[in-house]
């Protein structure tokens, strides 16, 4: 590997994860941080840390000039963007390369192509990947959208062309939706600086299945799939690998289609191709490509033994893929629970504050990726994700049993967290049977989830 150092342009648990992966490869780590993160675990772990601005993300973690100045000042060889913030910002990727550094991810051109949902759908179609019935491109106005919707049938979903994270999305059940169209466009413009929308048919009771791909520009492989159907407000809550009840023939076609799409754009680094899966018809449809490492990447690592972050760093250093497709195999089952600083008994209200004590289960089959330590104060300025509890088992049944035990042992004191939610999910018979889809969790929260004796539980 030609890299000697990497600047980590992110924060939280993913910054800790990249720090550890880079150090395992012998790289010097450089951590940028905002004024709110001076005492963060990522800063403590890094070989060098550089302040890049005040707490506000726009003035720190989203400040390209400040991050590039930090890279120049410290002599970094590469920049890893993690996920969120600038991870899928094509201008940032271009700025890193223009400065003579390696961007740990795909090119700016690939990010632009695949980050635009309409362009990505077109690329998927050209690669022979099935797409959800919908518009061929951006819709000019609400009238054009109504015409397309009438043709494919209600319900439909209008989505932001430059979107992500569930923003700029509306499910439409009635032909009179001009106001919803305008609201979605305004929301998309505010969130992404692009109010463009496209439309897709709603796949009822769909499951969310995604494929992890790796590419070095010439060689492309998949690391099998993940199931991410348990979502609240289109935000993933619980992920597992491999997908449950996915027929082998469907898995083969699904993974092959993701590799073909990666090959068609000459993909470099780690990426995720996301699909909706219609279990009744055993049909899958392309949704989008995430041109970065995913929050849920650990479940793939647990079942394949491949360190995806290290692989990204090797590729950025000019090395070819270290594994061939025939070397990638699934061993057992893994489940990840996202642990957030939110009170699940108070409509998931974010709850920053000080971690009084932290006790983490220790076992060969348990992994806890986190930014926490006892005495750390969770700041109120950023996403509420504290960490991810990941558990592996020989079978899904064993994995669920081990997960329940690990969740019972995980003790975070000082602030409410979503641990009680996951304890309830791990004990739910429908979850155990795999009887869920992308709309399951919100209905389950209304009917099956409540604090014991009506009292708020604090994990």
Give residue limits of the domains in the chain. Answer: 5-104, 133-201, 207-454
For the CA atoms of 329, 21, 426, 164, the dihedral, rounded to the nearest 10 degrees, stands at -90
What is the pLDDT at residue 327? 96
Residues 382-396 have a mean pLDDT of 98
Tell me which of 292, 396, 402, 423 is the catalytic residue: 292
Residues 64-83 have a mean pLDDT of 98
Q: DSSP characters for 224-286?
A: EEEEEEEEETTEEEEEEES-TT--HHHHHHHHHHHHHHHHHTT-EEEEEEEEEEETTTTEEEE
Q: Does the pLDDT of residue 454 top 60, yes or no?
A: no
Helix (H, G, I), strand (E, B) or coil at 88: coil
Tens of pLDDT, residue by residue over 217-265, are 999 999 999 999 999 998 999 999 999 999 999 999 999 999 999 999 9
Q: What is the topology classification, in CATH, of domain 133-201?
A: Dna Ligase; domain 1 (3.30.1490)
Q: Does the pLDDT of residue 1 top 90, yes or no?
A: no
Rounded to whole angstroms, the Cα distance separating 428 from 458 reads: 20
Q: What is the topology classification, in CATH, of domain 5-104?
A: Rossmann fold (3.40.50)
Residues 392-404 have a mean pLDDT of 98
Residues 388-399 have a mean pLDDT of 98
Lowest-confidence range among 22-31, 78-87, 166-175? 166-175
Q: How far is CA 159 from CA 92, 165, 170, 250, 292, in A?
A: 24, 11, 7, 27, 21
What is the pLDDT at residue 459? 40
The torsion angles phi and psi of 169, rounded to 5 degrees, stand at -120, 135
What is the pLDDT at residue 134? 86
Say what percent of the chain tops pLDDT 90. 83
CATH architecture of the domain 207-454 equals 2-Layer Sandwich (3.30)
What is the pLDDT at residue 452? 66
Q: Does the pLDDT of residue 455 top 60, yes or no?
A: no
Q: Does the pLDDT of residue 453 top 90, yes or no?
A: no
Tens of pLDDT, residue by residue over 264-306, are 999 999 999 999 999 999 999 999 999 999 999 999 999 999 9
To the query of whether residue 138 is one of the catalytic residues in this protein, the response is no
The torsion angles phi and psi of 144, rounded to 5 degrees, stand at -65, -40
H helix runs in 348-447, sequence order: 396-409, 419-426, 429-433, 440-447
């Amino acid at each position: 590997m030609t890299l000697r150092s990497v600047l980590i342009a992110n924060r939280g648990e993913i910054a800790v994860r990249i720090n550890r992966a880079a150090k395992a490869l012998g790289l010097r780590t450089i951590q940028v941080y905002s004024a709110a993160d001076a005492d963060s675990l990522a800063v403590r772990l890094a070989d060098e840390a550089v302040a890049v601005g005040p707490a506000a993300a726009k003035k720190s973690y989203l400040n390209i000039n400040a991050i590039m100045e930090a890279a120049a000042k410290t002599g970094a060889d590469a920049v890893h963007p993690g996920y969120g913030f600038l991870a899928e910002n094509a201008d940032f990727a271009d700025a890193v390369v223009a400065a003579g550094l390696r961007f740990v991810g795909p090119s700016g051109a690939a990010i632009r192509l695949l980050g635009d949902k309409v362009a990505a759908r077109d690329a998927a179609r050209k690669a022979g990947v099935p797409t959800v019935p919908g518009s061929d491109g951006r819709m000019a106005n609400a009238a054009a959208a109504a015409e397309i919707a009438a043709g494919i049938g209600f319900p439909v979903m209008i989505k932001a062309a430059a979107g992500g994270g569930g923003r700029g999305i509306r499910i439409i059940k009635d032909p009179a939706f001009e106001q919803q169209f305008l609201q979605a466009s305004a929301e998309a413009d505010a969130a992404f600086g692009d109010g463009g929308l496209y439309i897709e048919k709603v796949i009822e009771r769909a499951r969310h299945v995604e494929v992890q791909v790796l590419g070095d520009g010439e060689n492309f492989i998949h690391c099998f799939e993940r199931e991410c159907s348990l979502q609240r407000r289109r935000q993933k809550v619980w992920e597992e690998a491999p997908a449950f009840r996915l027929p082998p023939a469907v898995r083969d076609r699904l993974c092959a289609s993701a590799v073909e799409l990666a090959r068609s754009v000459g993909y470099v680094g780690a990426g995720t191709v996301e699909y909706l899966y219609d279990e009744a018809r055993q049909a899958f449809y392309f949704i989008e490509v995430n041109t970065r490492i995913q929050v849920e990447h650990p479940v793939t690592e647990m079942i394949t033994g491949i360190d995806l972050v290290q692989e990204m760093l090797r590729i950025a250093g000019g090395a070819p893929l270290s594994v061939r497709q025939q070397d990638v195999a699934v061993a057992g089952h893994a489940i990840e629970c996202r642990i957030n600083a939110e009170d699940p008994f108070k409509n998931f209200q974010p709850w920053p504050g000080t971690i009084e004590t932290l006790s983490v289960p220790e076992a060969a089959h348990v992994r806890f990726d986190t930014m926490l330590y006892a005495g750390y104060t969770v700041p109120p300025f950023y996403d509420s994700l504290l960490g991810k509890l990941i558990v592996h088992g020989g079978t899904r049944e064993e994995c669920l049993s081990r997960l329940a035990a690990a969740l019972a042992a995980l003790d975070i004191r000082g602030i409410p967290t979503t641990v009680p939610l996951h304890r309830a999910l791990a004990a739910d018979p429908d979850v155990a049977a795999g009887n869920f889809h992308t709309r399951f969790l919100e209905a389950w929260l209304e009917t099956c989830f409540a604090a014991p004796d009506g009292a708020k539980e604090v994990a």
